[in-house]
Amino acid sequence: MAEVTRLVHKYLRHDKKFPHVWCPGCGNGILLGSLIRAIDRTGFDKDQIVVVSGIGCSGRISVYVDFNTLHTTHGRALTFATGIKLANPRLQVIVIMGDGDATAIGGNHFIHAARRNINLTAIVVNNNIYGMTGGQYSPTTPYGALAATALYGNVEHAFSIAELAVMAGASQVSRCTVYHATLLDELIEKAILKRGFSVVEVISHCHTQYGRRNRLGGAVEMLQWQRDSAVRVEKAAGMSPEELEGKITIGVLCDRELPIYTQEYRKVREKARAMTAAGPQG
């Protein structure tokens, strides 16, 4: 059996929920492929994996994959994931969100999840726009770009999601584009295996809502733009800020060993047991 057929049969609800809702050429399909290849490489059992998603085009990924899957409310995926992981730390919890999902309505949950360093994997699909609702500007829509709610040009400034996660205290942060699919496989695998809160920002494209309105071409042209704009972090380290203007750095931005919430909480339990055993004075 061809590898792709094996993966489709093993990991997708191929006979139940397809065809999918995404537009032809959408980056979410590439991400879905990377996700199941990465999970397959980690070797985790399907019963051990929980995929939690928010609301939006990317949020629909959870319905297509044959794991324990949870499609939550808009922006709140990380809060549900926090409850799942703390209730059963043996589960591998992967959270998939969009840019508006993770950094507008869910921005507070995103930075606090990073700060707490619970062992979760957060994948943020950044397509610079609210696609499902028809192309309104999001926290990652570039300054000056056109959107359904910014017909005169966006006057807000964009978040850099990966950098935000680094500053908020995530253990591992990486960024990739959907054009660089094999690198994306590696980065997602690395993120799942990382002990601690890990983030993968996935630069994707919405040619239907964002590309068309901003005259950036179709899916192919937008993928070519990703190819031409991406610079590996190792190479970017030797480049000047001027040279990096308009570029996307891809690769592992940060990888550090920090105390993990569940391990810390185990210590809390030990102290609590000791204190209550010692009596009311304890």
Partner 1 sequence: MNAIKTPPGRPLLLQGNEAIVEGALAAGCRFFAGYPITPATEISEVMSYRLPAVDGTFIQMEDEIAAMGAVIGASLAGVKSMTATSGPGFSLMQENLGFACATEVPCVIVNVMRGGPSTGLPTNVSQGDVMQARWGTHGDHPIIVLAVSTTQDCFGITVRAFNLAEKYRTPVILLADEVVAHTREKIYLPHPEEVEVVDRIRPNMPPDWYIPFEENSRGVPPMSSFGDGYRYHVTGLIHDVRGFPTQRPDEITAFMNRIFRKINQHFFDIQMVSQEETEDAEVLVIAYGSVSRSAHRAIREARRQGVKAGLARLVTLWPFPRQTIEPLLRRMRAVLVPELNMGQMAREVKRINQGITRIETLNRIDGGLITPDEILRRIMKL
Binding residues for partner 1, rule: CB under 8 A, are 16-17, 46-48, 50, 52, 62-63, 66-73, 76, 78-88, 90-91, 108-109, 112, 265, 268-269, 271-273, 275-276, 279-280
CB of 117 to partner 1, least distance (A): 13
C-beta separation of 175 from 99 below 8 A: no
Q: How far apart are CA 215 and CA 226, in angstroms?
A: 15
Q: Where are the beta strands (DSSP E) in the chain?
A: 49-53, 68-71, 92-98, 121-126, 129-130, 136-137, 172-177, 198-203, 230-232, 248-255
Measured from the CB atom, is 37 or 109 closer to partner 1?
Answer: 109
Measured from the CB atom, is 20 or 212 closer to partner 1?
Answer: 20
Measured from the CB atom, is 45 or 245 closer to partner 1?
Answer: 45
CB of 90 to partner 1, least distance (A): 7
CB of 200 to partner 1, least distance (A): 21
Measured from the CB atom, is 80 or 210 closer to partner 1?
Answer: 80
CB of 72 to partner 1, least distance (A): 7
DSSP, res 48 = G
Measured from the CB atom, is 101 or 186 closer to partner 1?
Answer: 101
Number of Cβ within 10 Å of residue 269's Cβ equals 9
Q: Tell me the H-state helices in 194-249.
A: 219-229, 233-236, 241-244
CB of 6 to partner 1, least distance (A): 18
Measured from the CB atom, is 120 or 187 closer to partner 1?
Answer: 120
Number of Cβ within 10 Å of residue 247's Cβ equals 14
Q: How far apart are CA 165 and CA 99, in angstroms?
A: 13
Cα–Cα distances in angstroms (integers) from residue 21 to residues 24, 38, 60, 179, in the given order: 9, 23, 8, 21
C-beta separation of 48 from 91 below 8 A: yes
Cα–Cα distances in angstroms (integers) from residue 157 to residues 23, 73, 153, 212, 248, in the given order: 27, 26, 11, 21, 16
Which residues does residue 25 pair with via DSSP β-bridges, in sequence order?
none
DSSP, res 105 = I
Measured from the CB atom, is 3 or 47 closer to partner 1?
Answer: 47
CB of 166 to partner 1, least distance (A): 19
CB of 71 to partner 1, least distance (A): 4
